[in-house]
Every structure is written in C-alpha cells, then in structure tokens.
Amino acid sequence: MMLRAAFVPPTEAVERLRALGGRLAQLPGVLPVETSRVDVPIAALGNVVEHDAGRFAGVLAECLSDLPPVVVRPVGVEVTGGDVTVFLDGDLATLATVARAVGTAAERVHVYVDRRGFRPAVVIASIAAVRPGSPLDRMLSGPDVLGELADADWPVAQVDLIRTRWFGGEARAETAYRIPFGAEAGPDGFGGRDFRTG
C-alpha cells in the first residue's frame, strides 16, 4: 500500500478548509484538492507492506510518547507554486519535532521516507497561474479570506498514517493508523493499542 504520514485537522476545520477551497474553485483555473488530501503532510513513505506499516506505527508511537500535544492556527493564505496554501502558526517547534520523529521511525524499520522539508501548511486548491490583479489575487489579498478559519485554534495530538488503495482504477485514501502523542497516548503508545484503523 502507498502510505503517507500527516496531521489531520479537526473535522470542523477540514470542513471550513474545504469550503474555502470550494469558494476559490468558483474562479477560473482553480481546482479544489480532494477531500482526503485536506491535511498537513509530513512525509510520503512510498509502497509499504502491511507488516512494515505496523512496525513503523509501533516505533513511531515510541518516538512520540514524550511529546506534548500542540495547538496551531491558520494565519494566512498564499499561492505557492501551483497551489493555494493555508499557512499555520502556533507551536511549530514541537510540530517539527513530531515530523522529524516520522523520519527517525522510518530509518529504524528501514522504510523509505521522502525527506523533503516539512511545511506547517495545508494545500486547499491548485491553479495554473496567478497574475497580479487577477480575481484570485484580489480574493487572497482580502482581509476576510480566512473567514471562520481566522484565529481558530486546532489541537494536534496524533499523526495519521494514510494509505491509498485503488478500486476500479480510482484512488481512495483511508486512515490506516492513528498514532496519538502526549496526553492522548496510552501506556503502550497507541491510545489503547487498537491503532484505530480506517
């Protein structure tokens, strides 16, 4: 299975991010991202067999056991490359430590990890190009672009390992493992050791 690690915002925040992406997608040349991709990507782990995914989840839980939960908040929207991106602020140092733990766990179980730099941000739409003064440019520079997302605190207390499966030629993402950290983690590091799959 193709596996990736991500921070998934609370359900209400995901709905608001999707709504913002949908509003932007009403403009020419703007496409919202798939619902299953509204998250803060940490790392792609490539094609991982189930056994190795379970080992990776266990080691990652050990790596995260002493880290506290964090709070982040959306602070702005920008066009980066071909993406419309919502950037986060808050306890980014701890969030980056959690992201580094994903790489450490992957090394320990010899699972490939894409080591591109972690960015505390959520991509909500893609675009072909933005010209100065375009409707998208004007919308993103408006004071209320974040709407209900502005200054909303998001607690982050777990890493989701998301697998992609193909059904009839269509890719579907689903959570394979939820690995809590800080106060959310149980004595064995998995909040009850059920991994809370799917």
Cα separations (Å) of 176 from 27, 65, 150, 160?
A: 35, 19, 31, 8
Beta strands, E only, the chain: 2-7, 30-32, 40-47, 70-80, 83-90, 121-127, 154-156, 158-167, 170-180
Query: Is 113's pLDDT higher than 80?
Result: yes
Answer for the pair 133, 100: CB distance below 8 angstroms, yes or no.
no
For residue 138, report the phi and psi dihedrals to the nearest 5 degrees.
Answer: -65, -40
Q: What is the pTM of this model?
A: 0.85
Question: Using 50, 70 and 90 to split pLDDT, how confident is the model at 150?
Answer: confident
Question: Using 50, 70 and 90 to split pLDDT, how confident is the model at 72?
Answer: very high
Query: Is 170's pLDDT higher than 50?
Result: yes
Q: What pLDDT was estimated at residue 160?
A: 96
CA 127, 128, 133, 135 dihedral sign is negative
Question: Using 50, 70 and 90 to split pLDDT, how confident is the model at 184?
Answer: low
Give the CA angle between residues 71, 74, 157 to the nearest 5°: 25
**Residue 17 or residue 1, greater confidence:** 17
d(CA 116, CA 44): 9
